[in-house]
C-alpha cells in the first residue's frame, strides 16, 4: 500500500490520540467521516497500522528499571527458537537481530536491579548466548513514535 500525505496526516493524528472520532479525523484532513474511516480501515488491513493501544508509564506500574542488553553469541541467533526463548522472558520488551559486535539487542524493563539480575540470568540461559553487555538507563530524555506527518525526502 502506498501511504500518501492524507494517510500520513491521519496517522499523525491517531498517534496523538487514537480515540478521536472519524468525523474529527476527517474534518482535520478535509475528508468526510466515512472517507476517513475507510482510509483508516485500509491502513489497518495493509499492516501500516499494526495495532491500537494506549501508552502507559512503566514507572507508575513499578517497572522503573530500563536496560538495553547486547547478547553475544557463537552462532546465528535469528531463528524461531531464539525468538521464543526471548518472548518467554517477561522482562524483555523488545528484541532485535543486529549487525556488528553483538547478535541481538534486547530492551529489558524490570521492577528493581535484583529483577534485572534475574532477567540477565535468564538471557544467559538462551541457547547460543556467550555473554552480555548491559546498559542501564538512568533517565530518558524522550521516546518518540515513528514520524509520519511529513513525506520522507
Domains of the chain and any CATH numbers:
5-45 (1.10.10), 58-137 (3.30.70.920)
Angle at alpha carbon of residue 12, lines to 8 and 18, rounded to 5°: 125
| Torsion sign, CA atoms 65, 56, 148, 98 | positive
- Residues 117 and 60 sit within 8 Å (Cβ to Cβ): no
What is the reported pTM?
Answer: 0.79
pLDDT by residue for the chain (153 residues), tens digit each?
Answer: 899 999 999 999 999 899 999 999 999 999 999 999 999 999 999 999 999 988 888 989 999 999 999 999 998 999 999 999 999 999 999 999 999 889 999 999 999 999 999 999 999 999 999 999 999 999 999 988 777 765 555
Q: How far apart are CA 86 and CA 107, in angstroms?
A: 11
Q: How far apart are CA 145 and CA 153, in angstroms?
A: 18
Lookup: cell for 14: 491517531
pLDDT at 153: 54
Of 64, 70, 118, the C-alpha closest to 94 is: 70
pLDDT at 105: 98
Q: How far apart are CA 22 and CA 74, in angstroms?
A: 51
Amino acid at each position: 500500500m502506498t501511504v500518501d500525505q492524507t494517510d500520513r496526516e491521519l496517522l499523525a493524528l491517531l498517534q496523538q490520540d487514537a480515540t478521536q472520532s472519524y468525523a474529527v479525523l476527517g474534518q482535520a484532513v478535509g475528508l468526510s467521516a466515512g472517507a476517513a474511516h475507510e482510509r483508516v480501515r485500509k491502513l489497518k488491513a495493509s499492516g501500516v497500522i499494526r495495532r491500537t493501544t494506549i501508552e502507559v508509564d512503566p514507572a507508575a506500574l513499578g517497572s522503573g528499571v530500563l536496560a538495553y542488553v547486547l547478547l553475544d553469541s557463537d552462532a546465528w541467533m535469528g531463528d524461531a527458537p531464539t525468538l521464543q526463548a526471548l518472548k518467554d522472558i517477561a522482562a524483555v520488551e523488545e528484541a532485535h537481530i543486529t549487525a556488528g559486535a553483538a547478535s541481538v539487542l534486547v530492551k529489558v524493563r524490570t521492577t528493581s536491579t535484583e529483577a534485572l539480575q534475574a532477567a540477565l540470568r535468564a538471557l544467559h540461559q538462551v541457547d547460543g548466548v556467550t555473554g552480555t553487555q548491559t546498559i542501564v538507563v538512568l533517565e530518558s530524555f524522550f521516546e518518540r513514535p515513528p514520524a509520519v506527518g511529513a513525506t520522507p525526502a
